[in-house]
Structure 1
Amino acid sequence: MKHYILFIWGVLLSTFVLGQNSKYQEFFVGTYTSEGAEGINLCKLNTETGEINLENTFTGIENPSFLRLSPNKKFLYAVSEAGDAGSFVYAYEVVNNELKFLNKQSSNGQGPCHVDVSSKGSYVAVACYGGGTTSIYPVLKNGKLMEAFITNVNSGTGPVKDRQAKPHAHSIKFSPFESLVFSADLGTDQLDIYQLNFGGLKKAEQKFVKLPPGSGPRHFDFHPNGKVIYVINELNSTVSAIRKEGNDWKVFQNISTLPKDFKGESYCADIHVSKDGKYVYGSNRGHNSIAVFEVNPTDQSLKLLETVSVEGNWPRNFGITPDGTRMLVANQRSSNITVFNIDKETGRLEFTGKEIKLPAPVCIEFL
């Protein structure tokens, strides 16, 4: 009887502790050390109050501007925009919320700006803005990166001469629905498509989706139905909706991320689709807002609901908490991360009044 009581007490205590801990959501922050940051930050969000605390800072990496965790959350991969010293992608093991450096590999191009991990954690992909290249790296079971088994060198130009004189691969992502890899190239106005199979990568049967001239595709996200991709375009502040029709991907809508009466300069950055596929969010740098779109349930076209001030300057990347209730926005130039409530019924945002000051935050990755 005594052992039974102790067992029940232990279960209740464990449940209490887990309940207490569940109100916290930890996340990593990518930064620019060239703008005063020290490295990769680990922060903790109180999901009840919206308050954020800085837990730790991991140094020894230059300009870790974009981060991605492996699906099992055991490994973190970060690009390092190291300039003339050489550009790299770093691999870390996450041990008790500490980062243990594993190894690094060349990014095979200047200005690596985006990294992604395949659904099983077997591959890491990197896009280089300066070099216009994309690379795929096999991942060992211990999380270390092998040398890239393929590097694609993009070609082409666009009509915006000061931004599109050459290719600028700005993002790369593994499709969660099939063995395809997509990459947005700002310099060529294309969403490039590759086929990943048997440890190799080749151009897919449809090699790319051509986007409006001068649009400058930057980031993109997938609708949960697997048939629609939303691409946010930096240069003309729009979102292009792309649908799979038969075996081909085709643009079926281009919609502005800005209010009709806005006259200033603004450049889009990041985009995310809500888990239920009902809403799409995009960041405007210059207008300094998040554009909130409602997704038509029939054809997945977009309708702009509102643009909400980010309460900061130059919103680079932003993240939606795993439970879908809050959004964290990394404002690069005002050096703050701001917290918003998400109304799950309407998709609309409300500033909580909570923020944390951190030098040059540019990426949010939830642990």
Structure 2
Amino acid sequence: MGGTGARRPVRAFIGSFTSAGGRGVLAADVDAATGALTVTGATDAVADPSFLALAGGVLYAVSETEEGAVAALDVSGAVPRPLGEPRPVHGSGPTHLAVTSGHVLTANYGCGSVTALPLRVDGSLGPATDHVRHEGSGPVADRQSGPHAHQVLPAPGGPWAAAVDLGTDSVRVYALDPATGALRPHGETRLDAGAGPRHLTFHPAGTHAYVLNELRPTLTVCRWDAAEGVLEALGEVPVLPEGAIAPSYPSEVVVAPDGRFLWVAVRGDDSLAVLALDASGEKAELVTTVPCGGRWPRDLTLDPSGRRLYAANERSGDVTWFDIDPDSGIPRRAGSIAAPAASCVVLG
């Protein structure tokens, strides 16, 4: 007889700052009916694993330290375990990573650079194949005295990778050579001075991108030309209502699989913002904000079904999940677990 067609259970992995009392990387089972998390184990084998990415059954973690490294973890068991040795990224303070074209890319905030490392057949990492340092600065003296690459991720439609640099108010586009792991600078999109871009996400149609700014609570809507690898900024939209208490520092942005809504985590205001997108993806409008369920939401993740959000609340030390109203896009708090110094959640 044939298989039952049962889906593989979804698991969650939570990154946390070991230097602030976190347990490192936590693994958790996800209840399919409720979205509730149950922690199955943790490892502190990686120092300050502040951001994670899951690909091919392997979990990759940055080590956000002065030396800067990235590690691969086998997550086939209840407790994650190292897979091969951690690799230096030749840059300080890596804050983000992504897997694309047989490589892991890291954004190194401390020195403002991007690193490429190859994946081996077993999912472990080889030595870095390229390391490109940004140049420039911005007008906010205490945050933009030099480049600070905060995120790097693959862009739709080609060999492109987009690197968001908070220190230079720009997004840089690279072409990644999958054969050699070389990063070729392709273009740079300048954003408004002092905005401090942190992260971006692409519309499901691949035609637009949304850049979340950290140094002021706004979202920059962009048009993305996949054929040419060109990002064009169209304008900014607020992610907090007028009169919101400052200072606030947006941290993460995610978009619905159907492209109808977009959600933003905002530290300081400690809220989740709901924005509605028009059919083209070119116009975004703030609908409302709701409490994030804790303090200082550093990360926000949409589950594979598109029905739930998970917020990693760093300073209150928890991960809170929300059910999303399918008509309004408004999240409703459904539960939480303790996760000291939580910084990131991935599901898969």
Note whether the superposition's TM-score is higher than 0.5: yes
Q: For each residue in 1:83-108, what CA deviation from the matched residue of structure 2 results, as whole angstroms up to 9, or x when unmatched?
A: 3xx22100122323542312211021
Q: Does 1:243 pair with 2:223?
A: yes
SS at match of 1:141: coil
Match of 1:3 in 2: none
The 2-side partners of 1:298 and 1:133 are apart by: 33
Mapped to 2, the partners of 1:295 and 1:183 lie a distance apart of: 24
CA contact (8 A) 1:318 1:364 kept: yes
Correspondence 1:365 to 2:346:
yes
The residue type equivalent to 2:45 in the other structure is G
Q: CA deviation at 1:358?
A: 1.3
Task: Determine which of 181, 185, 188 is the counterpart of 1:208.
Answer: 188
What's 1:160 paired with?
140
Which of the residues 17, 30, 46 maps onto 1:32? 17
TM-score scaled by length of structure 2: 0.94
Residue in structure 2 matched with residue 91 of structure 1 by the alignment: 72
Maintained 8 Å contact 2:299/2:312: yes
1:68 counterpart = 2:53 = yes
Q: Residues 71 and 87 of structure 2 are in contact (CA less than 8 Å); yes or no, is this contact kept in structure 1?
A: yes
The Cα offsets for residues 286-326 of structure 1, whole Å up to 9 and x where unpaired, read as 00011111111135210111111112100011111101111
Does residue 34 of structure 2 align to residue 52 of structure 1? Answer: no
Q: CA RMSD in A?
A: 1.8
* CA deviation string 1:65-119 (max 9, x = no partner): 000011x2x2111001233xx221001223235423122110211111001001x
SS in 1 for 2:10: strand
3-state SS of the aligned residue for 1:34?
helix
Question: Where does residue 356 of structure 1 map in the other structure?
Answer: 337
Q: Of residues 264, 270, 273 in structure 1, which corresponds to 2:252?
A: 270
**Alpha carbons 1:190, 1:210 under 8 Å: kept:** yes
> 313, 321, 329: which is aligned to 1:331?
313
2:296–2:314 contact (8 Å) kept in structure 1: yes
Structure 2 gaps, min length 5:
none
Q: 2: distance between equivalents of 1:170 and 1:92?
A: 22
Aligned partner letter, 2:16: T
- Give the TM-score of the pair, scaled to structure 1: 0.89
User: 4+ runs of 1 displaced by more than 6 Å?
Assistant: none
Q: Hey, what's the Cα distance between the residues in 2 that align with 1:255 and 1:105?
A: 39
User: For 1:122-271, what aligned pairs fall within 5 Å after superposition?
Assistant: 122-197=102-177, 198-199=179-180, 200-204=182-186, 207-244=187-224, 247=228, 248-271=230-253
User: What's the offset of the Cα at 1:212?
Assistant: 0.6
Max Rg structure: 1
Amino acid at match of 1:38: R
- Which position in structure 2 is the counterpart of 1:81? 64
Cα 1:299–1:144 change in 2 (3 A) is closer
Distance 2:268 2:18 in 1: 22
Q: Which of 87, 104, 114 matches 2:86?
A: 104
SS in 2 for 1:95: coil
SS in 2 for 1:103: coil
8 Å contact kept, 2:42–2:80: no
1:304 maps to which of 276, 286, 289: 286
Q: Is the 8 A contact 2:208 2:221 kept in 1?
A: yes
CA distance in 2, matches of 1:76, 1:366: 10
Structure 1's unaligned 5+ residue stretches are 1-6
> Percent identity at matched positions?
31
Distance 1:286 1:347 in 2: 22
- Measured after TM superposition, the shift of residue 327 of structure 1 is 0.7
1:9-34: per-residue Cα shift (whole Å, max 9, x none)? xx6xx67xx47xx6x53100000011
Distance change >3 Å, CA 244–CA 318, structure 1 → 2 = closer
1:319 and 2:296 are equivalent in the alignment: no
